Amino acid sequence: MTARTSPYAAGASYVRSVTTIRDVDALRDSGADIDLAEGTPRGTTRIERAPRPASRATAGTVPGVAGGILRLSHVDVTVTDLDLAAAYYTEVMGMSVTARDAEAVYLKCWDEEDHHSLKLRYAPRVGFDLMAYKVQHEDDLDELENKVARYGMPVQRVGRGESVGQGESIRFDTPSGHIMELVHEVEKVGTNRGRVNPALSFDGHQPGQTGLISPPRMDHMLITAEEVGEATQFYTDVLGFRITEQLLDGNGHQLGTWLERSHSPHDLAVVHGTNGGLHHFAYWLDDWDDVRDAADVLAYNGIQLDVGPTRHGITRGSTIYFFDPLGTRNEVFTGGYRPDPDFPTITWTEDNIGRAVFYYEGQLNDRFMKVHT
């Protein structure tokens, strides 16, 4: 008869390496001081397992998440009318003001803990200042600063107190012509409802109340780049983003990439266009009913819609695109999927670009492709 090898043999050798089986009778006879329950019978054995060493992945503040970029922290844009912009983002979008001075307004969504996710700064022209992403560990700033510098991009250190609501950060230009900031320490102001036994209302409002969209959080942003492939390589190889989906032209060149760090369909997307452009930033809503209600709020307030309500092929998300009163494109977004570490990159081709971007309509409009901040 041929001997059969147990499929658990490899695992068994590992268990033996961390486990000691001790004969309780022998311990008793040797006079050793052993801690046993009263009445333990003779013939008992005790299994003692050595503790396994902790790794950085389990020792951090976010269990199971390695160091590096966690998620989008805040988007900074310029506006020509600070009062009008602040009124729109509070009285239509339902954000809360956390700080204000003569030149800027800082806002957050109702379920966000951090100081702000949107900064509005007065300027003679509408524009895009920077995108900020939060890192998990303080020493991630040093590590990523070195990586960006080795890539050939100068890095600026921003000291504690130089930016409202946050500690030290690093800033640098990306190959796509955008200013990017990475920050670890951000002032915690708490959610508007609290975490334990939350109130039924907050600030006099409830999510979904007529006249307010009230998203719980900021979700992602989409930027434009002349060389999508080069920009994507920087975000993946240097900053550690992962491609969930990509759109290729007939020659196999990337026309768009969707990148994640937070196990969502995307935290950042890059599409072909002018270097330094902001196509949109997006708010998360919890379900399709919230997207439908957002459409009612936008229509009631006379907000200009760009596309939707509709669904994306890429990311499978349900969406509406629209413009704030000064011309910066916003999105509300829900749905999608959870891309675990073994999630394969999904590839779309240019001949299916219509269904890839707008699955129901199957075609793009010129404004969506050409207008950006």
The band of 252, judged by pLDDT with boundaries at 50, 70 and 90, is very high
Contact call for residues 296 and 214 (beta carbons, < 8 A): no
Which of residues 35 and 96 earns the better pLDDT score?
96
Q: How far apart are CA 334 and CA 216, in angstroms?
A: 11
Could you report the per-residue pLDDT of 29-79, keeping only the tens digit for each?
666 555 554 455 555 444 444 444 443 433 333 444 457 999 999 999 999
267-311 residue pLDDT tens: 999 999 999 999 999 999 999 999 999 999 999 999 989 999 999
> What is residue 46's predicted lDDT score, i.e. its pLDDT?
46
* pLDDT for the residue 201: 58
**Domain range list for the chain:** 9-52, 69-370
Strands (E), 285-366: 305-311, 317-323, 329-335, 346-349
Q: Strands 242-248, 277-284: parallel, antiparallel or unpaired by DSSP?
A: unpaired
Q: How far is CA 74 from CA 104, 132, 156, 168, in A?
A: 14, 5, 18, 15
Exposed/middle/buried for residue 8 (C-beta within 10 Å: 0-12, 13-18, 19+):
exposed
What would you report as the CA-atom Rg of the chain, rounded to the nearest whole angstrom?
26
Quickly state the pLDDT bin for 200 (edges 50, 70, 90).
Answer: low
**Residue 21: pLDDT above 70?**
no
Mean pLDDT of 9-33: 47
Answer whether 105's CB lies under 8 Å from 61's CB. Answer: no
For 308-353, how does the pLDDT look when each residue is reduced to its tens digit (9 = 90+)?
A: 999 998 999 999 999 999 999 999 999 999 999 899 999 999 999 9
The residue-averaged pLDDT of 246-258 equals: 96
> Would you please indicate which residues are annotated as catalytic (active-site) residues?
220, 266, 280, 312, 321, 331
The fold for domain 69-370 equals 2,3-Dihydroxybiphenyl 1,2-Dioxygenase; domain 1 (3.10.180)
